[in-house]
Amino acid sequence: MNAIARPSETWSTNFFVVDGLLEARSHGERATILLRLSDAVIAAKVEQLQDACRETGFQAGVDFLSLRLAQHCATRTKTGEMPKALVEQLEYWRNGMVAIAGVQS
C-alpha cells in the first residue's frame, strides 16, 4: 500500500478546510466545520473561507466568520476582557451555528 498521495486531474490547490466547506453535503456540515476552527485559522484564511460559504449559499457562515474575526481583532478592556456586547453577540451566533449543525453544546 502506497502512503503517498498522488496528484490527479481533480487535485485541489485549495486550503483543505475550504475544500471541506465546498464538499459538505449540507449547511449543517459546514456549520460543524466552522465551529471547530481556531481564531488563527480564521484570521489567516477568512477570505477563502467566506468565499466557500458564499459559493455554497451559506450566508450565515459568512456572517459568523466576520464576527469571529472581529472578536479576534477586538481591543480588550483595561482588564483584558473582550467587550461584553461582542461576547454576547458571538455567543448568540455560536448557538445559531450549533443549531444549524444539529449538535449538542
Tens digit of pLDDT per residue, the chain (105 long)?
444 444 445 666 788 899 999 999 999 999 999 999 999 999 999 999 999 999 999 999 999 999 999 999 999 999 999 999 999 999 999 999 999 999 876
The reported pTM is 0.84
DSSP 3-state assignment of 58? coil
56, three cell numbers = 455554497
Cβ 43 vs Cβ 37: under 8 Å: no
Domain boundaries, the chain: 27-101
CA dist 35 and 29 (Å) reads: 10
